[in-house]
């Protein structure tokens, strides 16, 4: 047994454990960050600089300003439009789906009613449904509703966020004490007033988590916009960048577009990384909620 | 009950009192309500409250989840021909899916992908989570954030970026290989494309899974493994014998979500297909196949049947994971 070997050998195995452990984490950190560092460095290079300079160092001239100018000018400023579309789409989808999930999650947490368990089970089971099953019908439905080529075609389906309902329910069960609700009822407050004035504030930290997940999901969404949006001027960033990249891969086109696609990727990632870092404690919060019950 | 205890006496004395209060209150409500009809109305209104809270979500769920499912199933029962138009064919499309080698090739690809990627990703995530939960690591916040950061990167951007990194033209891996005088490795060939994609997904999602496991580890009461440590168990022994079994449910959760995500692989191969269409055929993954059937070939009805086939494979594999896990647990 290790303990019988005495304190000296124990501290030695402790030190080698710590060396191995720290080594693992440092290599891991490099693996996760180096590609992003490479992308950031690449965005400062001209097309020829990409080929002539070493990937993990700067080129002689910093070409970032020119790249940004080219990015904004390309296809009559298409990128600015995509950025705006993504922002509109992500913000409205996040706020809408968070409010809807808040109402539903709270309803599940606070009330006992007929069909409660069955409904919740059906909502949870929907995570098994592949996105492609819904893709074809949604394409037709949105087409019939005249919504193809409108941002509503991506915003409306994003309002349904089962994971959000799940998170709010668990959070509400912990954060909203029943006695408080009863006290408010005795004082004559209606159920919706109780929700809006008392429960909503108690739920706020959990709702920020849901908002964050919904926002990142919508900002990064690619599949649905790819299907339902036809005109380039309603594209979000993901589909627009995909198209430029596909164009860059075609013979004869390549040179001009690499720097633009790379710079565009960096610009698309910066806002989401800033939001991620600023609100980082809410991530962990949401994930720990999920795992306690999950 | 020990009646000599003062606490018990006090509770017993309180009980009738609180009972009186409730009786008084319900009488008061009865008196204010003018008739039994309005009382029933009030009760109905109160019963409808939970459904009103759920209504916005349920309407959306019905329109964007349930209805499309029914629509897709209905679609899958028909076949449209250029001559003769649309005709009802029952389950014929499903029989065709069973014998469709293009579909099964895609399933085989994602299964190969999953067999490589899921154990590596969850292994990295688990080791990292255990280290973050241990005493040996310093600067935990930096590691936690750094590992999780790729989750915020859109998968389209992640695939673009790795596509460039893999590339021969200005990819850093090829640059370094040439600098040290070895032949640059090829990543985007038919033999290497699955590991190349597996790496992109591992990069994106290892940190996310790490955080789920880490959160579960943090929820374990410390007393549970302090005892083992006092008995002389090493950090590694505590991790493997105490902590890993205790976070079993969280690990199962990450495994099931990984299986679902793997079977639905689409974004990354779709991006890399634009760069190397010969290496990634249109049926490379089931989702890519459905997409191309529907939106390139316009075979919407057959595409619907194939997507249900994929859902069935997903359900079977997820329950298989659960079955294996829980059988092992009940044996223990």
Give mean pLDDT, residues B179-206: 93
Question: pLDDT value at position A282?
Answer: 77
Q: For residue B86, give the 3-state DSSP assignment.
A: strand
Which chain B residues touch A18 with a CB distance below 8 Å? 136-137
Q: What is the pLDDT of residue B14?
A: 39
pLDDT of residue B82: 74
| pLDDT of the residue at B170 | 86
* Average pLDDT rounded to a whole number, residues A181-199: 91
Percent of chain A with pLDDT over 90: 53
The verdict on a CB contact (< 8 Å) between B68 and A18 is: no
Mean pLDDT of B145-154: 93
> How far is Cα A93 from Cα A100, in angstroms, rounded to an integer?
10
Residue contact A24–B54, C-beta within 8 A: no
Q: Is residue B287 part of a domain?
A: yes
Is A207 in contact with A98 (CB distance < 8 Å)?
yes
| Residue B30 scores a pLDDT above 80 | no
Per the domain annotation, does B17 fall within a domain?
Answer: no
Identify whether B76 is part of a domain.
Answer: no
User: Is B30 inside a domain boundary?
Assistant: no
> Does any domain span residue B294?
yes
Cβ contact (<8 Å) for B160 and A292?
Answer: no
Using pLDDT thresholds of 50, 70 and 90, give the confidence band for residue A135: confident
Mean pLDDT, residues B49-66 taken together: 96
**What average pLDDT does chain B have?**
85
Which of the given ranges, A119-123, B3-7, B274-278, B322-326, has the highest pLDDT on average?
Answer: A119-123
Confidence class for position B159, pLDDT limits 50, 70, 90: very high
How far is residue A266's CA from residue A276's CA, in Å, rounded to a whole number? 15
Residue B167: inside a domain, yes or no? yes
**Burial class of residue A75, CB neighbours in 10 A (0-12, 13-18, 19+):** middle
Per-residue model confidence as pLDDT tens digits over A229-241: 989 999 999 999 9
| Among the ranges given (A78-82, A187-191, B126-130), the one the predictor scored with the smallest mean pLDDT | A187-191
Q: Is the pLDDT of residue A136 over 60?
A: yes
The model's confidence at residue B33, banded by pLDDT at 50, 70 and 90, is very low
pLDDT at A280: 78
Question: What confidence tier does B65 reach under pLDDT thresholds 50, 70, 90?
Answer: very high
Residues of A in contact with B65 (CB under 8 A): 126, 129, 134, 160
Confidence band, pLDDT 50/70/90 cuts, at residue A128: confident
pLDDT in tens, B256-271: 999 999 999 999 999 9
Check pLDDT > 90 for residue A7: no
Label each residue of chain A as H, E or C: CCHHHCHHHHHHHHHHHHHHHHHHHHHHHHHHHHHHHHHHHHCCCCHHHHHHCCCCCCCCCCCHHHHHHHHHHHHHHHHHHHHHHHHHHHHHHHHHHHHHHHHHHHHHHHCCCCCHHHHHHHHHHHHHCCHHHHHHHHHHHHHHCCCCCCCHHHHHHHCCCHHHHHHHHHHHHHHCCHHHHHHHHHCCCCHHHHHHHHHHHHHHHHHHHHHHHHHHHHHHCCHHHHHHCCCHHHCCHHHHHHHHHHHHCCCCCHHHHHHHHHHHHHHHHHHHHHHHHHCHHHHHHHHHHHHHHC
The residue range of the domain holding B220 is: 92-331
Task: Say what the pTM is.
Answer: 0.86
Other Cβ atoms less than 10 A from the Cβ of A270: the count is 11
Residue B31 pLDDT: 42
pLDDT score for B249: 87
pLDDT at A32: 97
Domain annotation covers residue B115: yes
Contact residues on chain A for B69, CB-CB shorter than 8 A: 129, 133-134, 137
Are A133 and B311 within 8 A, CB to CB?
Answer: yes
- pLDDT tens, position by position, B210-229: 998 998 898 888 888 888 88
Split into its structural domains, chain B has a count of 1
A161/A221 Cα distance (integer angstroms): 13
Minimal Cβ distance to A136: which of B75, B214, B253 = B75
Beta-carbon contacts below 8 Å between A and B: 287
Cα Rg for chain A, rounded, in angstroms?
25
CA atoms A16, A19, A21, A27: torsion sign: negative
Nearest to A41 by CA among A28, A54, A24: A54
Nearest to B72 among A133, A219, A258 (CB): A133
Q: How far apart are CA A282 and CA A288, in angstroms?
A: 10
Is residue B77 in some structural domain? no
Lowest mean pLDDT among A207-211, B63-67, B145-149, B323-327: B323-327
Residue A249, pLDDT score: 74
Are A157 and B64 in contact by the 8 Å Cβ rule? The answer is yes
Closest residue in A to B62 (Cα–Cα)? A160
- On the CB side of A19, CA atoms within 13 Å amount to 6
Q: Among A13-17, B55-59, B117-121, B240-244, where is mean pLDDT lowest?
A: A13-17
Q: Do B150 and A101 touch (CB under 8 A)?
A: no
* Exposed e or buried b per residue across A191-219, where buried means at least 16 C-beta atoms within 10 angstroms of its C-beta: beebbeebbbebbeebbbbbbbbbbbbbb
CATH number at residue B177: 1.10.3720.10
Whether residue B45 is predicted with pLDDT greater than 70 in this model: the reply is: yes
B55 or A7, which is more confident: B55
Per residue in B88-107, pLDDT tens? 998 999 999 999 999 999 99
Q: Average the pLDDT over A122-146 and give the result.
A: 89
In this model, does residue A291 exceed pLDDT 70? Answer: no
- For residue A100, pLDDT beyond 70: yes
**Sequence-separated (6 or more) residues with CB below 8 Å from residue B296:** B282
What is the per-residue pLDDT for B29? 43
Handedness of CA B65, B67, B72, B73 (dihedral sign): positive
Q: Do B64 and A35 touch (CB under 8 A)?
A: no
Which of A28, A112, A179 is the best residue to mutate to test the B interface, defined by the most B CB atoms within 10 Å of its own CB?
A28
Residues B153/A36, Cβ–Cβ less than 8 Å: yes
- Which chain A residues are closer than 8 Å to B148 by Cβ? 283
Residue A127 has pLDDT above 90, yes or no: no
User: Which pLDDT does position B299 carry in this prediction?
Assistant: 92
For residue B6, pLDDT beyond 50: no
Chain-chain contact of A24 with B294 (C-beta, under 8 angstroms):
no
* B64, B128, B215 ranked by CB distance to A291: nearest: B215
Whether A54 and B172 lie within 8 Å, measured CB to CB = yes
| The predicted structure's pLDDT at residue A97 | 97
> What's residue A57's pLDDT?
86
pLDDT band at B4, cuts 50/70/90? very low
Residue of higher predicted confidence among B253 and B69: B69
Q: Mapping DSSP to helix (H, G, I), strand (E, B) and coil, where does residue B74 land? A: helix
């Amino acid at each position: 047994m290790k303990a019988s070997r005495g304190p000296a050998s124990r501290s030695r195995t402790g030190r080698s454990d710590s060396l191995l452990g720290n080594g693992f984490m440092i290599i891991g950190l490099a693996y996760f960050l180096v590609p992003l560092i490479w992308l950031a460095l690449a965005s400062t290079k001209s097309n020829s600089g990409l080929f002539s300079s070493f990937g993990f160092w700067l080129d002689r001239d910093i070409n970032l300003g020119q790249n940004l100018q080219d990015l904004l000018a390309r296809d009559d400023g298409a990128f600015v439009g995509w950025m705006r579309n993504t922002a509109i789409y992500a913000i409205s989808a996040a706020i809408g789906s968070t409010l809807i999930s808040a109402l539903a999650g709270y309803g599940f947490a606070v009330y006992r009613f007929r069909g409660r368990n069955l409904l919740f089970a059906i909502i949870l089971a929907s995570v098994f449904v592949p996105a492609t099953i819904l893709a074809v019908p949604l394409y037709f439905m949105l087409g019939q509703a005249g919504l193809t080529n409108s941002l509503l075609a991506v915003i409306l389906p994003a309002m349904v966020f089962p994971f959000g309902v799940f998170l709010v329910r668990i959070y509400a069960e912990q954060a909203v004490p029943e006695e408080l609700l009863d006290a408010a009822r005795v004082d004559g407050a209606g159920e919706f007033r109780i929700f809006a004035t008392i429960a909503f504030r108690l739920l706020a930290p959990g709702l920020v988590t849901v908002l964050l997940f919904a926002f990142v999901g919508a900002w990064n969404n690619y599949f649905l916009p790819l299907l339902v949006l036809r005109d380039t001027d309603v594209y979000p960033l993901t589909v627009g960048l995909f198209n430029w990249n596909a164009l860059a891969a075609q013979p004869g086109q390549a040179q001009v577009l690499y720097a633009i696609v790379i710079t565009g990727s960096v610009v698309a990632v910066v806002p989401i990384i800033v939001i991620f870092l600023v609100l980082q404690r809410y991530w962990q919060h949401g994930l720990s909620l999920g795992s306690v019950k999950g | 009950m020990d009646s000599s205890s003062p606490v018990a006496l006090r509770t017993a004395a309180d009980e009738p009192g609180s009972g009186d209060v409730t009786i008084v209150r319900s009488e008061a409500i009865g008196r204010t309500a003018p008739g039994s009809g309005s009382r029933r109305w009030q009760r109905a209104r109160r019963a409808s409250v939970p459904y009103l809270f759920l209504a916005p979500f349920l309407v959306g769920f019905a329109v964007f989840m349930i209805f499309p499912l029914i629509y897709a199933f209905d679609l899958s029962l028909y076949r449209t021909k250029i001559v003769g138009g649309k005709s009802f064919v029952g389950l014929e499309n499903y029989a065709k899916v069973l014998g469709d080698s293009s579909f099964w090739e895609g399933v085989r690809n994602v299964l190969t992908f999953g067999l490589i990627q899921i154990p590596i990703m969850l292994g990295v995530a688990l080791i990292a989570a255990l280290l973050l939960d241990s005493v040996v690591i310093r600067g935990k916040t930096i590691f936690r954030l750094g590992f999780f950061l790729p989750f915020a990167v859109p998968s389209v951007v992640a695939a673009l970026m790795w596509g460039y990194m893999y590339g021969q033209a200005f990819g850093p891996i090829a640059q370094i290989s040439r600098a040290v005088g070895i032949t640059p490795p090829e990543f985007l060939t038919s033999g290497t494309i699955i590991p190349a994609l597996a790496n992109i997904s591992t990069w994106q999602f290892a940190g996310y899974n790490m955080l789920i496991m880490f959160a579960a580890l943090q929820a374990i009461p410390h007393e549970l493994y302090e005892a083992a440590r006092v008995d002389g168990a090493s950090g590694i022994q505590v991790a493997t014998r105490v902590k890993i079994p205790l976070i079993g449910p969280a690990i199962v959760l990450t495994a099931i979500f990984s299986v679902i995500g793997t079977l639905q692989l689409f974004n990354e191969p779709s991006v890399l297909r634009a760069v190397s269409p010969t290496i990634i055929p249109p049926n490379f993954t089931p989702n890519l196949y459905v997409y191309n059937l529907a939106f390139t070939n316009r075979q919407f009805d057959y595409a619907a049947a194939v997507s249900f086939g994929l859902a069935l494979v997903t359900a079977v594999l997820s329950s298989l994971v659960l079955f294996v896990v829980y059988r092992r647990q009940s044996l223990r």
